[in-house]
């Protein structure tokens, strides 16, 4: 099994890779031998990641994954690299708090594009290469516990993250007979650098009380599960939604 977790120079595209969960995922996959194509708008964060991982393990691509032309540029760069693409991790996403009756259409459309349409655009652009991957390509979509459980004042976030789960099942059903495996993870509370820097607020403390383990996840704990699903060690797992929430959804 340990050998099946290795990527042996195969490529993995990770969106939202400059910080937080995406950065941890890029680090984990690179540690397992993948060449990571790290995608983000944060050029400085990408440069830092690329220096950390080294040129042999990481190609940084600053791009806006909500724009079709930018996504095509990503696909062209991956294709021209000579690296065989094995995996895609759709990790881009952001929350926006507003009650549904106050949410403006412009904000709804913005987060629909960021959280859901971006995954469609990147997946569509990379599908030909993923379908040609040795032993089958893999996609892991990063949803959220809020894609499983409703939460006040998060209509755009909860809805788009739930939509990502539907997209996961659709892709698994459509391309399973061609060797493509598609799964999703639903992280709960994750102690990212951003949260650690600003401190844990009262709302997050209340959420933590619902977690059976009584704590936030570390980013690498989510990244480990993503790497497993992306690897050949999970060769008979597809169309699955995996909550990684310390038991939050069990209550």
What residues are annotated to the active site? 157
Instruction: Give bridge partners of residue 61 from the DSSP assignment.
Output: 39
For 246, residues 6+ apart whose C-beta sits below 8 A from its C-beta are 188, 189, 211, 212, 213, 214, 215, 217
Angle at alpha carbon of residue 154, lines to 153 and 156, rounded to 5°? 130
């Amino acid at each position: 099994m340990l050998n099946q977790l290795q990527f042996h120079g195969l490529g993995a595209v990770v969106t939202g890779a400059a910080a937080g969960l995406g950065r941890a995922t890029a680090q984990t996959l690179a540690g397992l031998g993948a060449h990571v194509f790290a995608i983000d708008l944060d050029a400085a964060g990408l440069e830092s990641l690329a220096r950390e991982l080294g040129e042999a393990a990481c190609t940084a691509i600053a791009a806006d994954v909500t724009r079709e032309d930018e996504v095509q540029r990503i696909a062209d760069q991956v294709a021209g690299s000579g690296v065989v693409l094995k995996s895609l991790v759709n990790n881009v996403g952001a929350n926006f708090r507003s009650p549904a009756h106050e949410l403006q259409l412009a904000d709804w459309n913005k987060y629909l594009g960021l959280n859901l349409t971006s995954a469609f655009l990147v997946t569509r652009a990379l599908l030909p290469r993923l379908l040609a991957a040795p032993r089958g390509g893999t996609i892991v979509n990063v949803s959220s516990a809020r894609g499983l459980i409703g939460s006040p004042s998060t209509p755009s976030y909860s809805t788009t993250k739930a939509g990502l789960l539907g997209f996961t099942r659709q892709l698994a059903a459509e391309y399973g007979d061609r060797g493509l495996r598609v799964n999703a993870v639903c992280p709960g509370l994750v102690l990212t650098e951003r949260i650690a820097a600003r401190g844990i607020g009262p709302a997050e403390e209340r959420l933590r009380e619902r977690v059976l383990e009584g704590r936030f996840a570390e980013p690498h704990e989510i990244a480990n599960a993503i790497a497993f699903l992306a690897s050949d060690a999970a060769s008979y797992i597809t169309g699955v939604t995996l909550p990684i929430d310390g038991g939050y959804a069990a209550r």
